[in-house]
Amino acid sequence: MTSKISIESLKSLEPISSLSNGRLSELVELCFVESVGKGLDPFRMRGLSGQAVYLLSGELRLRYPDGATRNIKAGSPESRFPISRLIADATATAVSDLELLRIDDDLLDIMVTWDQLAGTDVDAGAEAAVQEPDSSLANWSILSGMFSVSNLKYGAFAQLPSANIEELLKCFKRIEARAGDVIIREGAEGDFYYVLESGKCRVERMIGGVSMLLAELKGGDAFGEEALVSEAKRNATVTMKSDGVLLRLAKNDFEALLKEPLLHRISMEDARQKIVNGAQWLDVRYPSEYQYDKLPGAMNIPLAEIRNAFGVLDTDREYILYCQSERRSAAAAFLLAQRGYRSYVLEGGLWLNGRRS
C-alpha cells in the first residue's frame, strides 16, 4: 500500500530540507511511500541499494551481528537521515507498523549538488544580482523546463561533469523576448545556444522560395545547437510566437561546457563490438545517400528529422550515429544526448572508415 508524502514532511528530512519549495514540489512526485506491517523485515523484499530510505512513522529495531540492538523511532533526530547510514550489516524488524519513504539516491545527490552550487553563486553574486537581476542562473532552482528535476536526472545535465555545473550557472544569460522577435535567422553564423524557459517559438525554413513551418517550440525546448555542433550556418529561422524568456549560452561556453561532455566519439572497431552486443547503427544522412552506401542493419533518420524520434527510440539501447564526416552525426548525437539517449558518433564518419561495416 502506498500514499503520497507532503512537502512539509520532506522539509523535516536531511539533506532534502535544503531544497527550494519549487524543487520539493517536483520531488514529491518522485517519492515512493511504502507501508510495512509489524514484525516484518522492511528490507527483505526491497533492499536499500541505490535508494535513500527514511522512516516516516512507527518504530524500527536493528540487530547487529554481535547481538547489540538499536531502536529508531520516527520523529527522532536520527530518523531525519537515511536509514542506510545506520543499518550497516544489521538486520531490521518493524516493532510497529511502519511507513518508509524511498527516493532514488542518485537523483537526490544530483539535486543537492546543483542546489549547493547555485547557492554558492547566489551568495557570491548577491550584490551584482541587485544591479542586474536574473542576469544568470544563480536562481536556477526556481526555473522549469530544461532545468526540471527530470532533465537533471535523465537529460543533458545529468551527463555533465560536476565541475561544469558551476560554470554553466554563471554563463547562461536570461533574456526577455517579445512576440515577433527573430532569435535565429536562417543562413546566419551560429553564435548562441538557447533554451526556451517560457513562451513559444516558431521554427521556419525557406523551401522553394516559400517559408515552411517546421516546428513550434515550448518552454523547456532547446535550439541553436545544430549550427554550433556541426560548425555550419543556421538552417532555420526561429521567431518568438509569444512573449517569453530565453536562456542563452555563448558559442565558446557551449563548446567547452556542453558540447564536448555530451559527445562521445567511438572508433569503427569499438562500434562493431557494440553492434554485436545489441547497439543500433543510425544513418543521419539524406535517404538518397543512405540507399547508396548504408551500413548493414542501419536505420535512416535524417538529421532534420531526428527530433521526431524523441520518444520513439529505445532509451535502453545504444545508438551509433554516422554520416560522411562527423558533422551531421555529431549534431544528431547531441540532440539525442540532451534527451537522455546513449548515443555515440562514429569517429571520422564514412570518409575515414570507408563503406565497410
CA 109 to chain centre: 14
Q: Can you point out the beta strands (E) in 178-291?
A: 182-184, 192-198, 201-207, 210-217, 222-223, 237-240, 244-250, 265-266, 280-283
Q: Directed axis angle between helix 105-124 and helix 21-28, to 10°?
A: 170
Rounded-to-integer distance, Cα 152 and Cα 110, Å: 7
31 given a catalytic annotation: no
Is beta strand 280-283 parallel, antiparallel or unpaired with respect to 318-322?
parallel
Contact in structure between 323 and 295 (CB atoms under 8 Å): no
Rounded-to-integer distance, Cα 92 and Cα 62, Å: 5
Selecting among 31, 171, 201, 323, the annotated active-site residue is 323
Q: At residue 92, what are phi and psi to the nearest 5 degrees?
A: -120, 145
Long-range contacts (CB closer than 8 Å, 24 or more residues apart) made by 326-332: 326/265, 327/229, 327/230, 327/231, 327/232, 328/230, 328/284, 328/285, 328/303, 329/282, 329/284, 330/229, 330/230, 330/263, 331/225, 331/226, 331/229, 331/230, 331/303, 332/282, 332/284, 332/301, 332/303, 332/306
Set of cell numbers at residue 248? 542563452
Give the residue numbers annotated as catalytic, written as ranges: 323
